[in-house]
Amino acid sequence: MSQVVVVTGASQGLGAEISRAFHAAGSRVALADIDEEGATALARSLDPQGETVLPISLDVRCGDNFERARDAIIDKWGAAHVLVNNAVVTAAKPVLDIAPAEFDEVMAINVRGTFLGSQVFGRLFKAAGYGRIVNIASLAGQNGGTATGAHYAASKGAIITLTKVFARDLASFGVTVNAIAPGPLDLPSVRRTVSAELLPQLIAGIPVGVLGDPSFIADVAVQLAEPRASFVTGATWDVNGGLYMR
């Protein structure tokens, strides 16, 4: 089954890794990002003919943007089967210094975006009797964060809760909803958040002694989205180098 996959925040970082992995696995991929130019560049690198990729301008804070994306995907390929809620803003700041507007911005992109995407595509998947939703959470949402801010950690914790709610309500309709909670990954966003001086200290605190591989996270997303993954739902998959064990 060649699936149609929607990846939010697809133009760079982990989103680009996830998009490449799905495309390499034979899926048709809608590259959704507020950075339409970046999404278009990635689409051209994956398929210059544009047959198996579709760049889409998407602001995850807006429900009508998700609806337009859904309609564009159906117009091109006739269906959608998988949503990966990856779009994120990463923020690090002492909790007593976070302004209300900063808190709201992080929650709007990370949590509201996940909610709206899951709602719009969840309705589509429910009607079709099949679908896969994969949410990108974080270790910070489980342990309160160490190198990130309270707003980021709270947003990722909320994503884990939303995963359970959507999983419960959509399970009987052939739709699974799971989350992946990575620890620190070898990504530009991590290196921007953690200074070069503090990065060795961060890595030393990881039991396995290295940053995580983003391509492995992408592979996990692909596996969770397979049709045969029907017995996995409501789960949060820990990929954190031993920083959080349960």
Catalytic residue among 152, 155, 158, 190: 152
Residues with Cβ within 8 Å of 42's Cβ and at least 6 positions away in sequence, in order, are 10, 11, 12, 16, 19, 31, 53, 55
Provide the residue ranges of all domains of the chain, joining segments of one domain with +. 4-239
Burial class (CB in 10 A: 0-12, 13-18, 19+), 131: buried
pLDDT band at 192 (very low <50, low <70, confident <90, very high): confident
The stretch 121-149 carries a mean pLDDT of 95
pLDDT band at 167 (very low <50, low <70, confident <90, very high): very high
CA dist 78 and 90 (Å) reads: 34
pLDDT band at 190 (very low <50, low <70, confident <90, very high): confident
pLDDT band at 24 (very low <50, low <70, confident <90, very high): very high
Category of 227 on φ-ψ map: left (φ > 0), alpha (ψ -120 to 50) or beta: alpha
Residues with Cβ within 8 Å of 190's Cβ and at least 6 positions away in sequence, in order, are 184, 211
pLDDT band at 1 (very low <50, low <70, confident <90, very high): low
Task: Note the CATH architecture for domain 4-239.
Answer: 3-Layer(aba) Sandwich (3.40)
* 244 given a catalytic annotation: no
The stretch 73-96 carries a mean pLDDT of 95
CA dist 77 and 59 (Å) reads: 22
The string of DSSP letters for 135-178 reads EE--THHHH--SSS-HHHHHHHHHHHHHHHHHHHHHGGGTEEEE
- Inform me whether the pLDDT recorded for 124 exceeds 70: yes
